[in-house]
Amino acid sequence: MKLKITESELVNIVRTIIESDDDIRVYMKRRHGSLLQSIQKQVAEETDPNVFGDEFEYADNILSWALNDFMEEPGNEWLQDRSDEIMDYAKEEFGEELFEVYRDMDNEEYENEDDEEFDENITEQFNREHLYPKEHIVKMLKGAPSELRQIVKKLPNIPCENDKGEKTICTKIPETIHVYLTGRY
């Protein structure tokens, strides 16, 4: 069986095929801001990276929760039939950014664990020869009085290894800084 179609009909058929493949992008163009707000709301509510196994699980959950909120907004109900397409769109548009958010949260947690270990070390008796990670000393003294911040600038840089065997910069601290860090200043 042969079909005869005009050139304009062929153009219309091709245009329909092309638009139907990319048509979710057309619908989402106006709703992009609203979806972004839903995602940002979910990111703000979920601040514990330990709840998720990895960044993929984090992104999937955040996007699922955000899409549920997004679909419930007035005027978006008709999109529920296309939730898989919208999820694919959201992964393409926001996936990498969500991976970065997860990695940043995860890194902050490791830094906080290091700070807790450091806090345990600093409460011990003052020892003039004890080496402390210089990065932690500087971080702990950011809000210190200016006379202590001046001392920090003059602390020596001593190469050392941390508990994990990684090379880092350590320093020896004077008793005045030790007194400040232990809360007795």
Select the more confidently predicted residue: 100 or 50: 100
Distances from the Cα of 20 to the Cαs of 23, 27, 83, 92, 133, in angstroms?
5, 11, 15, 18, 59
CA separation for the pair 59, 64 (Å, rounded): 8
Instruction: Show the domain range for 77.
Output: 8-111
Residue 86 sits in the same domain as residue 34: yes
112 has a pLDDT exceeding 60: no
Domains contained in the chain, number: 2
108 has a pLDDT exceeding 80: no
Report yes or no on 16 lying in a domain: yes
Residue 54 sits in the same domain as residue 131: no
Residue 136 sits in the same domain as residue 81: no
Final residue of a structural domain among 77, 111, 145: 111
pLDDT in tens, 168-178: 888 888 888 88
Final residue of a structural domain among 68, 83, 111: 111
pLDDT in tens, 13-70: 877 766 555 567 777 878 888 888 888 888 888 777 777 888 888 899 999 999 999 8
Report yes or no on 118 lying in a domain: no
Express as a percent the part of the chain with pLDDT over 70.
Answer: 85
Residue 23 sits in the same domain as residue 55: yes
Residue 36 sits in the same domain as residue 68: yes
**Burial letters for 59-81: b for 16+ Cβ neighbours within 10 Å, e otherwise?**
beebbebbbebbbeeeebeebee
Report yes or no on 116 lying in a domain: no
User: Residue 182, class by beta-carbon neighbours within 10 Å (0-12 exposed, 13-18 middle, 19+ buried)?
Assistant: middle
